[in-house]
Amino acid sequence: MGKSARPPLHYPLDAHKNSPFISIAIQKLNKLPFLKLYYFIATFTILPIRLCIFIAAVIPLAFCAILATIGLKDKNPSHPQIVGWRKVLKNISWMLYRVVLFSYGVYSIKSKGKRTSTKNAPIFVVAPHTSIFFDMAPIYLNGGHPVASAHLLQIPVVGMLARLLDPVFLDRYDANSRKLAMNVVKERAKHAYLYRWKQVLFFPEGLCSNGDAFASFKAGAFVPGLPIQPITLKIKRHYQLNLTSWTHTGGQDYLCNYFQFCKPMQEIEVHYMDPYYPDEEEQNDPELFAYNVQRKMAEYRKIPANDYSLHDANCVCRAVCRNRFKHEVGMIGIEGLAWRHGSRTAYIKTTVFDAFIRIANYMYKRVELKKDLVIGDGSLDPSLTVKDISCFYGFKGSKYIHELMKTHQREFNKEEVLDWETRSLEKNFGSHVEMTSRQFCEIFTNVACGLEAAPTLVKKSVDKELLDKVAKILEKKINLVHDDVGDDYDLFDEGQALEVDSKVARAIGEAFTAYIGHDILARKRVAIIFDTFCLKTDSSDDGDHWATDYVAISKKLERVILQVPFYYALIKEKED
């Protein structure tokens, strides 16, 4: 498929107006002492009763799901499987689901607008997606078959509850699975009347948001090019407090459920919008189709729409809940950044943004938490200079990295990059200029892709022949005494293995410093960098971190360069 005709990606930076992930309800609640008093009282009165009702409904619900799905093997059947006695159990399950909603204080589920037939629109698109329990309301009212993640099948009971709905299962990370799911959707639409299929239901955002802004719509629901009916849910808020949305910074595991159980009453409105019939251009361009539907729904709800995705949600969660940084620090616009450079979104998230977090914590003398905070409330807005970056990676002076960044600096196409002002640096920016997380990620990706040190959509990574050549040189420079890696090395002793792995990684770092030159790199700091990035990073690794032959050194060097492209520039200059 060629380039989409949809307008440029839009990543506004004002978190309080445009972020689908921000949750400041707890901060607002703290300013309302009478509500705090209410929730305190409700904890000892309403909450125990609601929990009893919830447990009394969930246990038989799980039992019905187990019985109704016994013997079902086909994940994506060509005809409905929940029929006959299974359907009776399914109907009982829906009654129990309504009791579950009642335990959350839901006394009313209203519908506005008219649900169209499967013949007119075989696909439902539901957004914004704020809660697992509440967002099943459209299916409760009129039926439907959701598109669900295949990993749910691995979760006991939950997978069986999902199968009660005859869903379309897919693995979002598997292209073949996504393609198969689209074929299933088309077949169900084609034979809807024959097999009595109801609409397939998509949550196109692919994440749980705060309901105050629409996140990016994925193209999956729009690839078949079939008519769709947009559905949007309105969950009534008391005192404008959003205490029920499962955002990525609001403590969805505990707090959301607590507030839902304690609320005196809750009302859900399911709004059925008019069916949307794609024109020929939209049928051939799912990205444009998705964009137009998202904007239409945003106009109906009178809330902003943007292109932030699950990748950005993960970055926001890490920035706020593990580092107490401001919300805006994680609002990178990863898919747009990856698209401009032809890079991979995973690389931007796990390497480029990771670099910003590591350097910021190093320079601000802070430590990243190992677990997410229950309530994400960050206040620090870190910025980095070239000097900070050089110091972190062990460069003596900032001139080299500064010149490298200026050499690979790109000019923005202002028509394609609407938020260019939040990403750009002056053409001849000084080494003292402070960079935001967006500016850092932009310039870091420029350097990595310019040096061909970053994995792209067409090539995996660096020149391995060059790394093998350098590894052979480092092999001769490594200085490890016998006591460092002794004969009693026990591969199965995790503590000892990590200790020896660290020594070997540091030795390779010191050899690399000697190879490049002690006038350029600081030996101790580079050794720490190698120690940080040489260790096992994925399940495909063979675990031979103690090995010091050139093959093992080359693998370690490749790992480090993936994280530190500036070292690759040094190698290229040294070998030219």
Cα end-to-end span (Å), the chain? 40
Which DSSP state fits 238? Answer: B
C-alpha span between 131 and 165 (Å, rounded): 18
Query: Which pLDDT score, from 0 to 100, does residue 504 have?
Result: 86
Rg (CA), the chain: 27
Number of helices (H), then strands (E), in the chain? 24, 7
The residues of the chain scoring below 70 in pLDDT are: 1-4, 27, 193, 249-253, 374-377, 460, 480-497, 535-547
C-alpha span between 257 and 56 (Å, rounded): 17
Query: Which pLDDT score, from 0 to 100, does residue 495 have?
Result: 67
The pTM of the whole model exceeds 0.85: yes
CB of 198 closer than 8 Å to CB of 131? no
Give the H or E element holding residue 51.
helix 46-68
CB burial string 155-181: b at 16+ within 10 A, e below: eeebbbbbbbbbbbbbebeeeebbebb
Query: Which pLDDT score, from 0 to 100, does residue 538 have?
Result: 45
C-alpha span between 470 and 571 (Å, rounded): 8
CB of 183 closer than 8 Å to CB of 92? no
Q: DSSP string of 175-237?
A: HHHHHHHHHHHHHHHHTHHHHT---EEE-TT-S---SSSB-PPPSGGGTT---EEEEEEEE--
Q: DSSP string of 326-384?
A: -GGGG---HHHHHHHHTB-HHHIIIIIHHHHHHHHHHHTT----SS--SS----B---B
Distance of CA 466 to the CA centre of its chain: 34
C-alpha span between 297 and 322 (Å, rounded): 33
Strand order in the sheet with 123-126: 106-112, 266-272, 228-235, 123-126, 200-202, 145-149, 168-170
Name the CA dihedral angle for 256, 260, 262, 268, rounded to a multiple of 10 degrees.
150
Query: Which pLDDT score, from 0 to 100, does residue 433 have?
Result: 92
C-alpha span between 246 and 208 (Å, rounded): 6
Query: Which pLDDT score, from 0 to 100, does residue 540 have?
Result: 47
C-alpha span between 18 and 315 (Å, rounded): 16
Query: Which pLDDT score, from 0 to 100, does residue 251 have?
Result: 53
Query: Which pLDDT score, from 0 to 100, does residue 253 have?
Result: 60
> How long, in residues, is the chain?
576
CB of 340 closer than 8 Å to CB of 216? no
What six digits make up the tokens of 181? 């799911």
Domain locations in the chain as residue ranges? 15-306, 311-450, 464-575
Query: Which pLDDT score, from 0 to 100, does residue 493 have?
Result: 61
Q: DSSP string of 258-269?
A: HHHHH-S-EEEE
C-alpha span between 544 and 539 (Å, rounded): 13
Query: Which pLDDT score, from 0 to 100, does residue 482 have?
Result: 45
Query: Which pLDDT score, from 0 to 100, does residue 29 have?
Result: 75
Which DSSP state fits 7? Answer: P
What six digits make up the tokens of 124? 């439902």
C-alpha span between 338 and 460 (Å, rounded): 14
